[in-house]
Amino acid sequence: MAFEMDCERQSSSADVTAGNIARTYSPIIDALSAHVALIDCNGTILEVNKAWMRYSDANGNCDLRYGIGSNYLDLLDGIRCCAGGGEKELEDASMARKVAAGLRQVLSGKLDKFQIEYPCNSPTERHWFLLTITPFPGAEQIKAVIAHEDLTPLMRANEELLRQSAQLACSFSNTVEAIALAVEKRDAYTAGHQQQVVKICHAIGCVLNLDEHRLRGLLLGAQIHDIGKIAVPIDILGKPTKLTRPEMEIMRSHPENGFEILKGIDFPWPIAEMVYQHHERLDGSGYPRGLSGEEICLEARIIAVADVFDAITSHRPYRPAKSYEDGIAELSAGCGRIYDAAVVEAFLAHLQNKVKQDTEHSPN
């Protein structure tokens, strides 16, 4: 048992008292993986557990008493006072100040528990710890327990998870870009239109405060929302006159075609549904399924607004581009009835802000 290994520790009456309590609780304290120290009312370290000793040994600490008899507050003051101007040293000094304040509050009875996460550079590698300080009631000498729980394996697992997640996001992005490229090679208009829709969706998503993950999914969906047009004959896509009814039916099959192409890809966003739903309308007048209201996912409602605005304000094979005012008039007329009101308002707010910024930066 760690507490029985050092006879020197039990030389004073205070140590004997602490040692008695330590012996009582040692099976529990030594079984903990956290590095535990028992502290008196002045901050002096009375006892430490086996995990504390093992960590100290593993990091080449030559102190045979493992800090026992030293004052924890003095050790923290030493870190603060010796800190240079480096970023790491300032971080250590700031942490030491917080821990010292927390320990004093626990010792004075003002705080039931102090807890903080902190990084620690051992001679060989970087570690992360969770420091917990709690009172030790009912003992004559021991007044607080300090426990350092090694979070390193958890933090490393978390870092690896984040790395894999970023890699996966990159793979999804590359997949979408490859699909978008396939469209671009065949139909330059659709490719340019999809890029414009991405820009508008980004603006709307930012105004609506979508979180980063959802915004990323929205933009990927927007980037390939017309992927189903790859199955529409090029002479229909580029026809300079009004489409016949059969041609229109073929053209209107593109959301479902897109869904069929994408439904087997396990994206972490509902990309296939965004594509399937981007011609649905709030009042159920859209296609292919006649969905209405909340049945249409938010991303599809955003893509719909961006899609309509860009389609109106862009040159089409059968007509020249219309003005921004025409696009705004269409969205305003359908706001809350055909198009999601919050989405339209977000887009109009973006346009107003853009006009204001352009005016402010105008040389005249």
9/281 with CB nearer Fe ion:
281
Residue ranges binding Fe ion (CB under 5 A) = 226
Q: What is the maximal distance between C-alpha atoms in the chain?
A: 102
Helix residue spans in 187-297 (DSSP H): 188-207, 212-223, 234-237, 245-251, 254-262, 271-277
Give the nearest distance from C-beta 177 to Fe ion in angstroms: 19
Give the nearest distance from C-beta 278 to Fe ion in angstroms: 6
Contact 270, 297 (CB under 8 A): yes
* Active site (annotated) includes residue 98: no
Give the nearest distance from C-beta 313 to Fe ion in angstroms: 15
26/223 with CB nearer Fe ion:
223
> Which residue of this chain has its Cβ atom nearest to Fe ion in the complex?
226
Nearest to 347 by CA among 316, 315, 301, 314: 301
Instruction: State the Cα–Cα distance between residues 177 and 101, nearest whole angstrom.
Output: 53
Give the nearest distance from C-beta 232 to Fe ion in angstroms: 10
Contact 14, 40 (CB under 8 A): yes
103/306 with CB nearer Fe ion:
306
19/228 with CB nearer Fe ion:
228
Give the nearest distance from C-beta 254 to Fe ion in angstroms: 6
35/229 with CB nearer Fe ion:
229
Cα separation of the two ends of the chain: 82
165/285 with CB nearer Fe ion:
285
Element (H or E) spanning 232, and its range? none
Half-sphere exposure of 102 (CA within 13 A, CB side): 19
Burial environment of residue 77 by CB neighbours within 10 A (0 to 12, 13 to 18, 19 or more): middle
- Residue 170, token pair as written in the block: 């990159």
Among the listed residues 113, 229, 242, 263, the single catalytic one is 229
Instruction: State the Cα–Cα distance between residues 154 and 127, nearest whole angstrom.
Output: 10
Q: Report the DSSP pairing between strands 45-48 and 114-121.
A: unpaired
Active site members? 229
